[in-house]
């Protein structure tokens, strides 16, 4: 048979219970440490600025946003007509409303291309299957794909960004 005594069996039971208690505690500590590390890594200036000079941090963020969108923070938008698109593989429909951020002074040129932009977006959205819309990152992927297509039609120097105002599946 075996050479295991009843005292050895009790010792193993105690150590397995101890593992059930220690493992979740270590998991929680590791998750907390990861959160703190990630928040400091991704927003070090905002965290430091909020502690000492909250107004200075906000002003710097506003200046950075202005620099990213041209001198003086000039931003122009061209509204696209609302779209109702039937999805390729189902009876579902997508209601889509967006605006295109354009370079200052390019509003008229991009507005003249609005029918072509809408056609490009509708063609792309019709080809997207409903299974691609279910995951958490779907809107981010769709937005980048649509922005790339709009830049190909209107020109990358004209179209800066695509702002999705409404994205409703029914």
- Residue 125 domain-assigned (yes or no): yes
Outline where DSSP puts E strands in the chain: 76-79, 83-86, 93-102, 159-169
Return the closest-CA partner of residue 92 out of 15, 7, 169, 4. 169
114 and 61 within one domain: no
Three-state secondary structure readout of 19-62: HHHHHHHHHHHHHHHHHHHHHHHHCHHHHHHHHHCHHHHHHHHH
Question: What angle separates helix 44-52 from helix 6-42, to the nearest 10 degrees?
Answer: 80
119 and 49 within one domain: no
64 and 79 within one domain: no
Q: Which residue range is the domain that position 29 belongs to?
A: 6-68
End residue of a domain, out of 48, 68, 88: 68
- Residue 88 domain-assigned (yes or no): yes
pLDDT of residue 61: 47
- Residue 1 domain-assigned (yes or no): no
End residue of a domain, out of 50, 68, 86: 68
79 and 153 within one domain: yes
136 and 117 within one domain: yes
- Residue 62 domain-assigned (yes or no): yes
Rg (CA), the chain: 27
pLDDT digits 0-9 by tens, 36-70: 666 665 554 444 444 444 445 444 444 544 455 44
Biggest alpha carbon–alpha carbon distance for the chain: 91
Rounded Cα–Cα distance for residues 169 and 39 (Å): 33
Give pLDDT tens digits along the chain (170 positions): 566 666 665 655 555 677 677 777 777 777 776 766 666 655 544 444 444 444 454 444 445 444 554 444 688 999 999 999 988 777 888 899 999 999 989 999 999 999 999 999 999 998 887 777 777 788 889 999 999 999 999 988 999 999 999 988 88
42 and 86 within one domain: no
We report the CATH number of the domain holding residue 87 as 3.30.479.30
Angle at 160 between CA 59 and CA 62, to 5 degrees: 0
96 and 61 within one domain: no
- On average, the pLDDT of the chain sits at 77
145 and 94 within one domain: yes
| CB-based contact 72:111 (threshold 8 Å) | no
Counting the structural domains of the chain, the total is 2
């Amino acid at each position: 048979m075996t050479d295991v005594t009843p005292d050895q069996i009790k010792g193993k039971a105690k150590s397995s219970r101890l593992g059930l208690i220690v493992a979740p505690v270590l998991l929680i500590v590791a998750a907390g440490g990861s959160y703190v590390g990630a928040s400091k890594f991704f927003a070090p200036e905002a965290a430091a600025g909020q502690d000492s000079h909250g107004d200075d941090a906000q002003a710097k963020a506003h200046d950075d946003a202005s620099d990213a969108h041209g001198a003086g923070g000039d931003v122009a938008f061209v509204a696209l007509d609302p779209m109702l698109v039937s999805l390729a593989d189902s009876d579902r429909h997508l209601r889509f409303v967006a605006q295109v951020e354009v370079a200052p002074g390019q509003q008229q040129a991009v507005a003249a291309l609005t029918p072509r932009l809408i056609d490009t977006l509708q063609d792309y959205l019709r080809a997207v299957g409903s299974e691609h819309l279910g995951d958490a990152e779907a809107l981010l992927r769709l937005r980048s794909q649509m922005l790339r297509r709009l830049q190909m039609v209107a020109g990358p120097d004209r179209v800066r960004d695509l702002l999705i105002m409404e994205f409703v599946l029914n």
